[in-house]
Amino acid sequence: MKVPPLSERPVTEEEEQAFPAPTSRRKKRSLTARRAALRPWVIGIGLTVLVAVAAVGAYTLGASISSWNDRPSTAATPTVHPAPMPSESSEAAMSGGYAIGPDGVLVRPAQFAADTYTKPELPEAAKENSERGAELAAEHYVATLSYAWNTGDTQTLASLSAENIPFADGHINAINSLYSNGWTYGNAATITSIVEVEPVTEEMGAPPNTIGVLFHVTTTNGTSCQGQRIVVSDNEYTVSFALFMTWQGDRWLVTDGNIPHGNDK
């Protein structure tokens, strides 16, 4: 999932690739209990958290999902490799094992090139106007966010969001900013559990036909470069990830999102 470098992330450490979300992992509760559990993070959605998440993602990712929140005190400090100024030589200048390109930016390793990443495909069931469809569409969004951080392709991510959504725009702007003078690879996000899938009413500040999806994601930021500065962040940490999925026309779109603090369940 930067996507996404998806931002500065909260809680625990960093993560793996893949997006398993089998139905057997979903926690079923009574309707009253689930609404009671869902309401705090719905009300608590704030742009301050989203901006922090997206900003830190420009170096380490995630959301940072992500966009993309304070890192946990137990998280390991990313390894920073500053580079010396290019030397005058007929051979390609090198820095920390990386060649310095003609634009002054370290050359991305070929084995981790953007075209080595496969664009996530939207499952057919995610095209259905149902709670299950909203859940799968939300999982697809997280996968696409990570893909965007690893490749710099933000067009696909933008197509999954409604217009003028600060949560989505924050990630997109952070990714575009990073790739204007750098790159990232090795960003990964794995959904480990589905916590809530619940209709959200207009009284709670959501558009009509909105489903709230809350899940836990284990994430790894990977390796990022900005100019001649490399940041390696390979440790895993876990965050809660909340999305508002709204059925508009014939598909689900993200109309808000948040990475709540201290919401482990």
Residue matched to tokens 């997109």: 172
- In percent, the amount of the chain with pLDDT more than 70 equals 62
Percent of the residues in the chain that have a pLDDT greater than 90, as a whole number: 54
- pLDDT tens per residue, range 237-265: 899 999 999 999 999 999 999 886 544 44
Q: What is the reported pLDDT for 97?
A: 75
Buried b (16+ CB within 10 A) or exposed e, 210-242: bbbbbbbbbbbbbbbbbebbbbebbbbbbbbbb
Q: Is residue 171 domain-resident? A: yes
Total number of domains in the chain:
1
Q: Are 238 and 72 in contact (CB under 8 A)?
A: no
pLDDT score at 261? 54
For residue 39, being part of any structural domain is answered with yes
**103 domain-assigned:** no
pTM of the model: 0.66
pLDDT at 188: 95
Residue 177 lies in a domain: yes
Average pLDDT score, the chain = 73
Strand pairing report for 210-220 and 98-99: unpaired
Residue 11 has pLDDT above 90, yes or no: no
Residue 10 covered by a domain: no
Q: What's the rounded Cα separation, in Å, for the pair 132 and 125?
A: 7
Q: Judge whether 56 lies within some domain.
A: yes
Identify the pLDDT of residue 231. 93
Mean pLDDT of 64-83: 38
- Domain enclosing residue 211, as ranges: 23-82+115-222+233-258
pLDDT, average across residues 158-185 = 95
pLDDT of residue 204: 82
In this model, does residue 195 exceed pLDDT 60? Answer: yes
Per the domain annotation, does 51 fall within a domain? Answer: yes
CATH code at 42? 3.10.450.50
Distance in angstroms (rounded) separating the CA atoms of residues 164 and 158: 10
Q: Is residue 101 part of a domain?
A: no
The tokens describing 141, both together, are 């969004």
Cα–Cα dist 196/236, whole Å: 23
